């Protein structure tokens, strides 16, 4: 039996994914089209901070996010909204990528200082963003394993 009331977890997941998708389009996809514009709007780092190599790494993440991560987010949003069982699979994939992607960025920020051409000194906002994605991803996978069916009923 389908009810109209959605669990709070549905709204948390839905809003987090929708906001992430919007920011990813603006920052990651834009980095492929016009990297300097993505820097101007504050969603990428300048060549002065991350070096030429860092810019290309950022663009590589942008390409992967654009062709893999964002379509999974969009499918998850659509499927969860329509209460489709397959959306639990796409959402789980999205959650896994969220945690992994954020963990890679965290370790890059730890290991890159001292590298020639790398001058980025991440502030608290970086760590909060990263931590939010790691927690969201890990929590989301476990939620989907143990309670995922409640999102589509």
**pLDDT tens per residue across all 153 residues of the chain:** 455 799 999 999 999 999 999 999 999 999 999 999 999 999 999 999 999 999 999 999 999 999 999 999 999 999 999 999 999 999 999 999 999 999 999 999 999 999 999 999 999 999 999 999 999 999 999 999 999 999 999
Tokens 């990263």 belong to 130
The answer to whether the predicted template modeling score (pTM) of the entire model surpasses 0.85 is yes
**129-149 burial: b if 16+ Cβ within 10 Å, else e:** ebeebbebbbbbbebbeeebe
């Amino acid at each position: 039996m389908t009810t109209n009331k959605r669990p709070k977890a549905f709204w948390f997941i839905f809003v987090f994914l929708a906001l992430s998708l919007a920011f990813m389009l603006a920052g990651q996809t834009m980095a492929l089209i016009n990297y300097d514009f993505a820097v101007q709007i504050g969603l990428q780092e300048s060549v002065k901070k991350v070096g030429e190599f860092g810019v290309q790494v950022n663009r590589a993440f942008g390409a992967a996010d654009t062709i893999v991560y964002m379509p999974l987010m969009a499918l998850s949003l659509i499927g969860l909204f329509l209460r489709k069982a397959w959306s639990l699979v796409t959402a789980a994939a999205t959650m896994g990528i969220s945690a992994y992607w954020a963990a890679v960025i965290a370790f890059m920020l730890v290991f890159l200082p001292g590298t020639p051409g790398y001058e980025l000194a991440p502030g608290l906002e970086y760590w909060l963003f990263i931590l939010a994605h790691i927690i969201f991803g890990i929590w989301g996978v476990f939620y989907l394993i143990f309670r995922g069916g409640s999102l589509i009923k």
